[in-house]
Amino acid sequence: MDYPHPILAREGWPFIAAALVASLLVWLFAGFAWSIPLWIVAVFVVQFFRDPPRRVPTDPLAVVSPADGRIVSLGRSQDPYAQREALRISVFMNVFNVHSNRAPVDGDVLEVRYFPGRFFNADLDKASLENERNALVMRCGERTVTVVQVAGLIARRVLCYVAPGQSLHRGERFGFIRFGSRVDLYLPLDAQPRVSIGDKVHASSTVLASFAQPREVAG
C-alpha cells in the first residue's frame, strides 16, 4: 500500500500546533479547568485533519470515491466543465469526515479551473454551481472524468495540488478542503452507479460506479 502522506494532514499542522499551544498556556497560567474547552477544541482539530491510509480496489473498471461523506445527489446532469451530459455523483463532507481528496480513477489531468463563488451549505444542490469551487477534468483512457471540489458554508479554502499535464493514480491524494464541503464527480453516461443517495462512503476504498466493459473489435 503506497501512502506517502502523514496520518495527520500537513494542511492541519499549523492549526493543530496552535490549538495545543493555546491549551497548554491556559493550563499553565489559569489552571486545568479553564483549559478544558481549549483541549476539546484541540481534539476536534486533530480529528478533522486526520488522513488515514486506504486500500484501493484493484478492479480496473472501478471508480472510487474522491472523498469521505454521504451521497447527496445521483443522476444525469450537465457537466459544465467538459461540456457534456454526464452521470453526476455528489459526496457531502461534514466537519467530522476526513477532508483529504483522492483521485477516483487513473488518468491524466487535462484542465484545472478555479471559480470564486458563494458559501451556501454544500448539502444544497445549488452549491455545485454557485459556491467557490475547483474543477479537474481528467482523461481516463477514452473516457472523460470531472472532479469538482466545492467549498461549503464553513469551508473557506479549497486546496488543489495538481496541474494540467500531470498523471494521477486512483486513490492518490490531490487536494484538501477545510471545514465542511462537497465533491461532485461527473462520469460517462454508461457508467453504472454502485451507491444510492444517503449511503456513507470513504475516499479511495468505496466504489461509486463501474465503467462499462470495453467493446471488443471484430477481427
Predicted confidence at residue 157, as pLDDT, reads: 76
Q: Distance between CA atoms of 201 and 54, rounded to whole angstroms?
A: 12
- By three-state DSSP, how is residue 89 classified? strand
In degrees rounded to 5, what are phi and psi of residue 100?
-75, 135
- pLDDT, tens only, 9-41: 888 899 999 999 999 999 999 999 999 999 999
- By three-state DSSP, how is residue 162 classified? coil
Predicted confidence at residue 96, as pLDDT, reads: 87
* Cell, residue 93: 463532507
Architecture category of domain 62-210 in CATH = Distorted Sandwich (2.70)
Backbone region of residue 201 per phi and psi (left: phi > 0; alpha: psi in -120 to 50; beta: other values):
beta
137 and 143 in contact (C-beta within 8 Å)?
no
Predicted confidence at residue 79, as pLDDT, reads: 95
How far is Cα of residue 102 from the mean position of the Cα atoms in its chain?
A: 6
* Cell, residue 26: 491556559
Q: Distance between CA atoms of 156 and 173, rounded to whole angstroms?
A: 20
Predicted confidence at residue 16, as pLDDT, reads: 93
Query: Which residue's C-alpha cell is 457531502?
Result: 92
Q: Distance between CA atoms of 40 and 68, rounded to whole angstroms?
A: 23
Predicted confidence at residue 4, as pLDDT, reads: 57
Sheet (strand 62-64) strand order: 62-64, 207-210, 192-193
Give residue 69's identity as a one-letter amino acid code: G
Predicted confidence at residue 217, as pLDDT, reads: 46
Query: Beta partners for 93?
Result: 181
Those residues of the chain that have pLDDT short of 50 are 1-2, 217-219
Question: Residue 181 catalytic?
Answer: yes
Do you know the residue count of the chain? 219
C-alpha closest to that of 83 among 107, 64, 111: 111
Query: Beta partners for 96?
Result: none
Q: How many C-beta neighbours within 10 Å does residue 108 have?
A: 14
Give this prediction's pTM.
Answer: 0.85
Annotated catalytic residue, options 65, 128, 181, 210: 181
Q: Distance between CA atoms of 135 and 122, rounded to whole angstroms?
A: 15
- By three-state DSSP, how is residue 63 classified? strand
Predicted confidence at residue 64, as pLDDT, reads: 97
